[in-house]
Chain A
Amino acid sequence: MFHEHPIKIIKYALKNIWLLIFPLLRGIRSMKLDIDAFYSWAKGTWFDILIIVLIIGFGYLRWLFTWFSFGENDIDLLTGIVVKKQTCIPYNSISAITAEQSFYLRPFKASRLKVDTCAGMFNTSDMSLLIRREDFKKLHKKIPEVRSESKKTFIFKPKLSTIIFFSFVFSSSLSGAVYLAAIFFQSGRIAADLFENEFKDALNEITSEVSAKLAIKIPPVAIGISIVIIALWLFSFVSNILRYTGFSMNSNERTLKVKMGYITRRHYHIVPDKVNYIDLRQNLLMKIFRVSSVNVSCSGYGHQKGELPVLLPILSRKQVEKALDIFSFGRFIKGRDIKALKSATITYLWIPLVSGIAVPILTIFARHIFSSFTQIVTFLGIMFEIPIIWLFVIKVVALFTSGASIEKGVCCIRFCKGYAFHTVIAEREKLVKVHMWQTIFQKPLKRVNIAFYFNSETAKRNVLYGVNIDDATEFLKKMGISE
């Protein structure tokens, strides 16, 4: 049995930081008293010291009473000072192991280890430990390793330019906002307020400067919004570059080993048998250039905030097929057995069509109501219209590319969700539910929508819209599902 890395004492101790509220209350109380009472305050510092000793003492005790071991068949974790809790994860149940080496942990030679199985709480690790790097090496001996001499080994190390392109494509101002929100929450309100005030001043300065330089009729507020969006996008872009720099994947039939990260180095061990499905993701640009990113659905991989379950960032079609040979999936990316009907145009296009018409009408209406803000209203109208037009183009492409196929027990579903194109490849056994439904307009036209649900930590709908009902029934029969 081993203890965790001693640095964990600090983390355990910080959990009891709330105890500092007592010395703080004493301080507030003493401030109300006159100067003579200062002596009694100074005399009472033993209490503050006691609290700090208690905080560190609790941390030390928790560390002292936490043991783990890498046994013959399982990982054991024993915790608890009074109530003893023992968690035992067999090696053959593990779906993914993550080792994180943050920049501040590296000098201490410590690693954060996360062990995941297909069970347990959604989107949280089943076991999380802060261990010494040499202890992690002991675990290495217990889990399957990628041997480069093996015939079926796939090694992939993308160039930095590929990573930059990937980060460029998958960065969004929304995820940037999420990152910033996380920073605000974690840094505390004071830091956020300070940042907000400084940020406001800086933004005002920049917007008025840009506005003056452009000397055109763009209101400073509009420029401000644009700068915020660009800044958030840039933040997300840089975060993605830092996260995925140094990406490499080694795999064979026994294990998939992924390394990534510059500031925080992450090492993943994924068990191929525990992979639920493979998802090839593309946006419109990637579709045009015939490249895709290979994502994987596996418990414990890519479930952290701001993390994508990406297995291979950017690959051409041929590279994808080669990589998927590890799962024996490569040859199943082929033509479609069932396709979205061309007559289902309205099913695919009604949302961008309706919103594309509604936005200009609402803009004109709003210009009349808010006559003193016509510039900003027009600007917002244009800003809303652009993504709708983009969505229209994506849905047109989706109409011609959506479909599904099945061969030798492996199914391949191609569909579009939001602005992304997905090609989901999974074994038939991993399919858990199929939902077929028709709208009142689809019923007389004999069209149907099908939602496929595969094994996953959280239920994810893979929906194929506007398929002929007879073709769909025939396809489901081929999948071994019949009414």
Chain B
Amino acid sequence: MEISYVGENLISGQLGNLFIILSFVCSGLAAFAYFKSIHSPELESASWKKMARTFFYIHVGSIVGMVSILFYLLFNHHFEYYYVWRHSSTDLAMRYIFSCFWEGQEGSFMLWSLWHGVLGIILLNTSKKWEAGTMTVLSVVQLLLGSMLLGVYIFDIQIGSNPFILLREHPDMLNLPFVQNPEYLNFVEGTGLNPLLQNYWMTIHPPIVFLGFALTLIPFTFAITSLYIKDYTSWLKPALPWTFFGIAVLGLGVLMGGAWAYEALSFGGFWAWDPVENSSLVPWLILVGAGHLMLINKVKPNSMFSTYLFSVLSFLLVMYSSYLTKSGILGETSVHSFADGLPGQLIFILLFLVIGAFTLLAIRFKKLPKQQKEEELWSREFWMFLGALVLLISCFQITFSTSIPVINAIFGTEMAPPTNANEHYNSWQLPLATLVAIFIGIGHYLKYKKTDSKKFFKDTAVSAILSLVITIAVATSLQFQHYYHGLLMFAATYAVVANADYWFRILKGSIKKSGAAIAHIGFGFLLIGALISAGNKEIISRNNSEIEIKMNENENANKENIMLIKGDTVLMGNHFISYEGREKEGHNIYYKVNYYQIDDNGKYERQFQLRPFVQLNEQMGNVPEPATKHFWSRDIFTHVTYADLDDPALDDPNAYEEADTSLVKIGDTLFATNSIIVVKEVIKDIDLAANNLQPDDIAVGLRLEAMNVKGQTFDASPTLVIRQNRLFSIPSEVDPLGLKFNFKKINPETGEFTILKQEKTSNASDFIIMQAIVFPYINILWIGCIIMTLGSIIAVINRVRFPKLRS
């Protein structure tokens, strides 16, 4: 029997599916028509091209259509759609709806296709004689990506995964009872967005990374086209601005990912050599190599094979990275990989592109322009070529180590990724980065073809000496731990100084030609910032207490966490810190950690408060997020590693424990978890009216003084009242210490008083285990990133505006 469901918006999904099919078919037709136009005589070619453009515009229009529909469904919480249900929820703040869009695989493919479409429209209008070829390749890639959204079955093989599938029709849901309920929409609620992605970086980072990924496709299309039509050099000029724009955008995107990891994740740093990070860094490095090879081969086509290799490899590595992260092959090795992929289809797409590109390159290999004469040792092209090879080695190392799960899958081995990833990757990447930085420093002083070596040494000597002085000063004042940190420091400083010198002295500070110099200065700063902030990071929560529990003789128990009980003040690094307490706001529990310095009078002076928090999330698990205090010269990063989330005091912070009864005299002392209480005096002259007592009551108070660990004192005065023949007491609370006192009885013979002391439950149970790390000069890293992006963009703009300009 057909069930007629109530409240479903089916028309949007049908329209969305129409757009998916239209966009898929039109990308195929556009590819075909463009391909025909390459091979047709002039007149016919023009009409094929016109047709192809129409198909391509319809294709892009359809992508815009499906993207809009998915946004519409997300914004209006249409949980009848699986994607909406799976990636969002009603209580999610509107600004995170964008993150929901690209959290899932289908959404991220749509975003990626959309960027390809936008770039395709620009390419189609600007590339003139290259249009037919480049757009054929681009359309084929769009066809392949479009197939990832189809969600159809051919002989039981699933092709693509459809973003507009209904919740009740999703294979996981078919047998669930709600499917039989026509009014299921009344109670269905979305599962929500991964709490880690509920961060402002996650609204801007993915679109930028995907634009960067999309931009790697353009040099690929040019390279493939030129190989196909056997025109081996003239593609370099139109491809160059695209390549450097890609370098700017992807570089920015990769570092934004680092910024997000630093702000929102708790591993303590901006880079962890995680497979997902690696697989966006590698295409960027190759793209940088491709751009520089294009520059030297535009002048003299001496290393065209390498230029082709880099130009196609960057995009192929993007495809490989999307296979790694979306197919689920990373499995246990990555903190953030997606397992719900379609590995078969992704492998097919990847192999199709790799085999296609390399076959074409192999066929044409013999016909590529040959090196006329060996490169001079003292030429710019020789060292730029070497630099590109260093980047290639760097990428090979990162890719090989990241691909361990793939190697396991192919060869059936049982390798696990290196336990200490940082050590493993850094042992290669640090020396390679040092080499690259040196090349960046000398590059501009080398001339194309041949350089006068005397002039070269004279030009670069001052920068080298200055860099050496700076390096020695920095290395001694920050106490570098390893000599190779000093080497990298020198190389990176040299990259900055030499390029600044080149910009001001040789280019006379002109902006027009400055792009490369500025970008290189930025890269140098980036390396310096990364080196100092990571190499000299200091874990200030390291436990220095005398009590050391050794697990066994060989190994010390690690001690990098610190325990803070509410109200305690402890010395950590050069700060005194105290844990003030916790606060529940919505889904988050904030832990308020105060940082103090002692002023001249020996008083604690609060400098700032950090509020690391734990987000409670039933579906995804509870997620801790760090809090960081930024200073210009360092960051203090604070992160709760453990807190008891099941503590009953969390729900009722004002609950008291059972009372303690004590017999005391004046001058006696009582102890609480967070304070010492002294019985000061008996108060006899109690103002009855002010305490709402009756005129013939007899009231006696007891003044108590509680002193906390910081030496602050608080008064309490519980009162005993005698009314006619009955005794009762008025309790007194010390709120800041979570204490409550009751005065119960006086024993006139012994002069003793009976006092009940109660502590708040949270006094004993409220503690956190915390880690704090100081990152010195991390701002240099971010500034370097911004400068590098600006420099690259200046270079692109000037290349587009002044095409004749020589670099």
A binds B: no
Binding site for A on B (CB under 8 A): none
